[in-house]
């Protein structure tokens, strides 16, 4: 993970988010970590995972992502992002698209 | 080579179980403790790849089935972690192991008196958590609600079937608190030392020559005193 707080990205939104919570992880760093976790679960290389966008379908769209693989994905997210994911957090919206999962992770990190 | 070994049961009888081995009577003899449950399937090929690589490096290795898993005819639901631990110790004596290599939750049953390595060790609580989560997600897909808390309660009381594995109540309770056994000179091998991602994360079982070679290199190396 880069220790540089996304200097190349100067959108006001990133700065406020980082300043407000003092998060160690910018949206850009989170995006790349999450893609790297998905690449590990799917067994694809980084380039392929990099092609994921907010509308890319996950659970229910990719045959590789069965319930066991999704459970592994969430457990790996807990370990690598240092968050705790409760039963109630897991819903269709969060798992259906890459954008949903990213928004969820962002929300969890800002709670911390 | 495919052979069998006699796993002692608490009843005083024994259970004949599969033993996969590369045995040429060499100096270093490594007992392999495989990953458990869902991860056992995903890591079986890597595990045997590591054994092949060890053989090429002049190291003997032995992979015994524990009662209740893989080819075993014994019911999994009546096995306990305590039972597996004592069977691992029996297997170690049986094959005159000089070292052990545990894989993931295999670390929960490592022998107490041998030096060895824990590859990416996993606690029992995490093993349960991942499988319980898979079950709640699958239930939701089916339009049913199951909560982790309820499943934990049921598991502690009556045991629980998770990812197709029928885990008995006693085993379930033992797993909730089981930690990798830090016996003797056990060294931990982190996933990043092998390069690439852990194969247990994959949806389908896979193999990886480079990872197997890296793991075997460490085990065939200068011993556990690092």
String of b and e for B12-49 (b: at least 16 CB within 10 Å)?
A: eeebebbbbbbeeeeebbbbbbbbbbbbbbbbbebbbb
Burial of residue B188, with CB atoms counted within 10 A of its CB: 0-12 exposed, 13-18 middle, 19 or more buried: middle
Distance CA B117, CA A32 (A): 32
Q: With contacts defined as CB-CB under 8 Å, which chain B residues touch A77?
A: none
The one-digit pLDDT tens for each residue of chain A (112 residues) are 444 444 444 444 444 444 445 555 788 999 999 999 999 988 888 888 899 999 999 988 888 888 888 998 999 999 899 999 988 888 888 999 999 999 999 999 988 6
**Inter-chain residue contact A69 with B130, CB threshold 8 Å:** no
**Inter-chain residue contact A68 with B197, CB threshold 8 Å:** no
Task: Answer yes or no: is pLDDT of B190 > 80.
Answer: yes
Global confidence as pTM: 0.86
CB of A67 within 8 Å of a chain B CB? The answer is yes
What ipTM describes this predicted complex?
0.77
Average pLDDT, chain B: 93
In tens, the pLDDT along B111-162 reads 988 999 999 999 999 999 999 999 999 998 888 989 999 999 999 999 999 9
- The residue among B2, B8, B198, B173 whose CA lies nearest residue B84 is B8
Sign of the CA dihedral B107, B40, B137, A40?
positive
A100 three-state secondary structure: helix
- With beta carbons less than 8 A apart as the criterion, state whether B61 and B55 touch: yes
**Inter-chain residue contact A71 with B200, CB threshold 8 Å:** no
**Inter-chain residue contact A70 with B137, CB threshold 8 Å:** yes
CA atoms within 13 A on the CB side of A59: 24
């Amino acid at each position: 993970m880069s220790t540089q707080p996304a200097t190349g990205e100067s959108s006001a939104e990133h700065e406020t988010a980082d300043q407000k919570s003092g998060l160690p992880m910018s949206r850009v760093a989170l995006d790349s970590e999450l893609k790297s976790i998905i690449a590990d679960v799917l067994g694809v290389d980084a380039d392929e995972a990099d092609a994921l966008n907010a509308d890319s379908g996950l659970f229910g769209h990719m045959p590789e992502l069965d319930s066991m693989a999704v459970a592994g994905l969430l457990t790996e997210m807990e370990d690598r992002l240092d968050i705790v994911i409760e039963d109630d957090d897991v819903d269709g919206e969060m798992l259906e698209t890459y954008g949903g999962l990213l928004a969820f992770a962002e929300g969890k990190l800002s709670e911390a | 080579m495919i052979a069998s070994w006699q796993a002692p049961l608490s009843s005083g009888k024994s259970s004949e179980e599969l033993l996969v081995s590369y045995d040429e009577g060499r100096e270093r003899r490594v007992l392999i403790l495989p990953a458990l449950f869902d991860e056992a399937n995903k890591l079986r090929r890597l595990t045997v790849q590591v054994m092949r690589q060890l053989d090429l490096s002049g190291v003997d290795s032995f992979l015994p089935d524990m009662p209740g898993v893989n080819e075993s005819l014994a019911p999994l639901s009546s096995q306990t972690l305590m039972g597996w631990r004592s069977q691992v110790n029996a297997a170690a004596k049986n094959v005159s192991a000089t070292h052990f290599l545990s894989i993931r939750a295999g670390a929960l049953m490592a022998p107490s008196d041998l030096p060895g390595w824990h590859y990416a060790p996993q606690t029992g609580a995490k093993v349960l958590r991942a499988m319980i989560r898979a079950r709640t997600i699958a239930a939701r897909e089916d339009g049913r609600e199951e909560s982790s808390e309820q499943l934990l309660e049921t598991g502690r009381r009556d045991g629980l079937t998770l990812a197709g594995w029928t885990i008995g109540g006693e085993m379930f309770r033992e797993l909730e608190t089981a930690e990798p056994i830090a016996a003797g000179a056990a060294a931990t091998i982190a996933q990043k030392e092998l390069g690439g991602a852990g194969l247990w994360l994959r949806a389908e079982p896979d193999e990886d020559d480079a990872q197997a070679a890296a793991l075997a290199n460490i085990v065939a190396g200068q011993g556990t005193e690092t």
